[in-house]
Copies of this chain bind each other. A is one copy, B any other.
Amino acid sequence: MRKTLAGAALLLTLMRTHSAPAAEAVLSPEVRAKAIALTELAFSGTQASDWVRSLTDRAGPRLAGSPGDAAAVAWGLATMKSIGFANVRAEKVVVNVWKRGIEAGEIVSPVRQPLTLTALGGSVPTPAAGLEAEVLEVASLEDLAARPEAARGKIVFFDKKMRRTLDFSGYGEAVDVRGDGATSAAKAGAVGVLIRSIGTDHNRTPHTGGMKYLPDVPKIPAAALSVPDAELLERVLRAGGPVRVRFTLTCGDAPDAESANVVGEIRGREKPDEVVVVSGHLDSWDVGDGATDDGGGCVVTWEALRIMKKLNLRPRRTVRVVLWTNEENGGRGGIAYRDQHRAELAKHVLMIESDGGVFRPQGFGFTGSDAARETVKTIATLLSGIGADQISPGGGGADIGPSMQEAHIPGMSLDVDGSKYFLIHHTPADTVDKIDPVEMAKCAAAVAVMAYVVADLPQRLGE
């Protein structure tokens, strides 16, 4: 792998001999050499997937405020210190807490069949004896909006199929029923909501995920059926006649608790006040180990710093890794960072979030000025050897979003091949065995090169 990468990088160097001066200024021979070194070390020296294994084996599921979350924060602090990052600290965040409890379901009539389902995160519980009602199948929020009177007293079943796509567009199309289904159905007088899992697998492990209520709309319980169960319910419904379902959830909110964003740095050698943030979220849904979502994202971002350290590369600006808390079910980690760091947000040069899995990287999504985009595109050419040189519009992340918005900070998301992500996303099957160490090493290389070069630019990104 070492030779191939060096060769690809050499080819890149040759290809860019006649590039525009601006690009040449960004990609000096020294920068190119460092990019090669970072990429090679990401491959030859990484234990990225071992770090994920270490996290998931020690902390396991780690919904914000849970014992697993506390274990993950302790692990993050200890591990960052052991690597030798500067200013390693836990920045306290008060998070909202939600607990899952028991979940069960069945078709009651015209046939009796068990249903495998899981509460959507944030759902209220059903009555203790379960919630039983006739089912109304709808294809989408729009379908429900077209005939709201049909939903009164019913359990609304959002049977919206997710397309399998290389990017996240299939997810984007389907996920509205998870977030807004309960509120839309409650407005129409429904008593409960079931959705087809937002996922592309046919495993019997349903996909949880966040949902939201509105203040003035009744809160009704909501759960996701595994895809085979959704298909069963669909067939039973389409066979004709009324179909009754009962489901039981004992989930619900608990008092707020203390958690933390975990932070570590390499201080800049010239402009330590200017900051490039690389980040993933340390919390996970409770149903799985959150290896891919987002243990992998946490690790590839700190791998970027670890590799820089190993090569004694100290960029002009500070590179800061942030492991967010409460991404999955509250977003308070990102909000707390914005509030706690408000005074220095103007000095944030770029914020990167990796929260789409650590499968084969394709590049980055980017939000920022045209000038900044041109520079980022130039830097991305250094990643063509690993196929991660695409810069697509619309970078960001749930956690970096509040700060980006507050101070107009350029934002990036690591873009990866999404075709496998939604087989396991938000399910019990999100375990460390699903991570390919080589694909993950490429992700680490991509983040390391992008973060280093931006942090080391002679002029601030976009200027």
Contact = CB atoms under 8 A, between A and B. Distances in A.
Given A112-B67, A235-B53, A429 B60 contact: no
A342 interface: no
A205 B427 CA distance: 11
A457 interface: no
B202 A205 contact: no
B202 A434 contact: yes
Given A57-B232, A231-B433, A433-B231, A427 B114 contact: no
A231 B202 CA distance: 23
Interface in A35-79: 53, 56-58, 60-61, 67, 71
A111 B60 contact: yes
Contacts of A116: 428
Contact of A431 (B67, B204, B427, B434): B204
Given A112-B67, A433-B228, A235 B204 contact: no
Give the 5 A-B residue pairs with the shortest CB-CB distance, closest first.
Answer: A204-B428, A228-B431, A60-B113, A204-B429, A202-B433
A236 interface: yes
Interface centre among A61, A231, A434 (most CB of B within 10 A): A231
Interface in A202-252: 202-205, 227-228, 231-232, 235-236, 239
Contact of A111 (B58, B113, B227, B228): B58
A370 B133 CA distance: 62
Interface string A111-124: 11110100000000
A372 to B, nearest CB: 41
B204 A427 contact: yes
Contacts of A67: 112
Nearest to A291: B228
Interface of A: 53, 56-58, 60-61, 67, 71, 111-114, 116, 202-205, 227-228, 231-232, 235-236, 239, 288-289, 427-429, 431-434
Contacts of A60: 111-114
A394 B404 CA distance: 68
How many copies of the polypeptide does the oligomer hold? 2
Given A53-B235, A232-B57, A431 B288 contact: no
A235 B428 contact: no
A286 to B, nearest CB: 9
Contacts of A289: 232
Given A67-B112, A112-B67, A202 B57 contact: no
A431 B205 contact: no
A432 B230 CA distance: 12
29 contacts: A56-B232, A57-B111, A57-B236, A57-B239, A60-B112, A60-B113, A60-B114, A61-B114, A67-B112, A71-B111, A116-B428, A202-B429, A202-B431, A202-B433, A202-B434, A203-B203, A203-B205, A204-B288, A204-B427, A204-B428, A204-B431, A205-B205, A227-B433, A228-B429, A228-B431, A228-B432, A228-B433, A231-B433, A232-B289
Contacts of A57: 111, 113, 232, 235-236, 239
A205 B428 CA distance: 9
Contacts of A232: 56-57, 289, 431
A429 B206 CA distance: 11
Interface centre among A53, A114, A204, A288 (most CB of B within 10 A): A204
Contacts of A228: 429, 431-433
A428 B288 CA distance: 17
A431 B233 CA distance: 13
A434 B231 CA distance: 12
Contacts of A227: 433
Contacts of A58: 111
B235 A429 contact: no
Contacts of A202: 429, 431, 433-434
Contacts of A113: 57, 60
